[in-house]
A and B are shown apart, each in its own frame.
Chain A
Amino acid sequence: GAVVSQHPSRVICKSGTSVKIECRSLDFQATTMFWYRQFPKQSLMLMATSNEGSKATYEQGVEKDKFLINHASLTLSTLTVTSAHPEDSSFYICSAIFDRVETQYFGPGTRLLVL
């Protein structure tokens, strides 16, 4: 199946700093990428949908100024958590699609811990 990578896999940062997470499709060009957040023992919650070259579409309740998404190419999307706070600590997962059948392929996730 298609491969999606994320970097870093884990990050610890101080409160008030910004953290950038990368999502790459390794063997295909992704028409759309998605960013999810997963709280412990809870489901994946979609944060935003990202299309290459256009602004991301954020889900209701997600602060677009806090979670900046850039989709600069067909193989790379980045999520920047700005001015991170402890409540932003979570598991962030990206996914990508590359065909009209629209099966999402998921990255391994990034564990963010804000101290």
Chain B
Amino acid sequence: AQSVSQHNHHVILSEAASLELGCNYSYGGTVNLFWYVQYPGQHLQLLLKYFSGDPLVKGIKGFEAEFIKSKFSFNLRKPSVQWSDTAEYFCAVRVTGGGNKLTFGTGTQLKVEL
């Protein structure tokens, strides 16, 4: 079965710092990849997704992620974070042809300080 690892459980950054959150998955076949964000007190929202094509995908709010197939990774990046980016970030994987089931990572709590 596939699994997803997010190595950073808690990240604290100052505003304007650059962000990179790691996500690695274990599955040898074709996958779709997602990053979701959960702001305090709110529901999960889709940040971006990769299905095929250009491995560098851009999402909302200035976020982007790069799919590196050889490394089984889909790291999330943002060049300059804002206080409002404080949230929990979840990476998720779906195996193509395996139904619509998502497997989530354990999440990374990001705190951006002023």
Contacts and interface: CB of A to CB of B under 8 A. Distances in A.
Nearest to B101: A46
A49 to B, nearest CB: 7
Contacts of A104: 46, 100, 102
A104 B90 CA distance: 13
A67 interface: no
Contacts, number: 47
Nearest to B100: A102
B25 to A, nearest CB: 13
B45 interface: yes
A102 B44 CA distance: 16
The winner among A1, A42, A43, A106 for most chain B CB atoms within 10 A is A43
A1 B99 CA distance: 22
Contact of A108 (B43, B90, B99, B106): B43
B6 to A, nearest CB: 9
Contact of A1 (B46, B51, B90): B46
A1 B104 contact: no
A106 B101 contact: no
A44 B104 contact: yes
A42 B44 contact: no
A81 B108 CA distance: 29
Contacts of A97: 100
Contacts of A108: 42-43
Contacts of B36: 106
B102 A46 contact: yes
Interface in A78-106: 93, 95, 97, 101-106
Interface of B: 4, 36, 42-46, 49, 51, 90, 94, 99-107
26 contacts: A1-B46, A4-B43, A34-B100, A34-B101, A34-B102, A41-B106, A43-B4, A43-B90, A43-B106, A44-B44, A44-B90, A44-B104, A45-B104, A49-B99, A49-B100, A49-B101, A93-B44, A95-B44, A101-B51, A103-B46, A103-B49, A104-B46, A106-B44, A107-B43, A108-B42, A109-B43
5 nearest A-B pairs in the assembled complex, by CB-CB distance: A106-B44, A108-B43, A43-B104, A43-B106, A44-B104
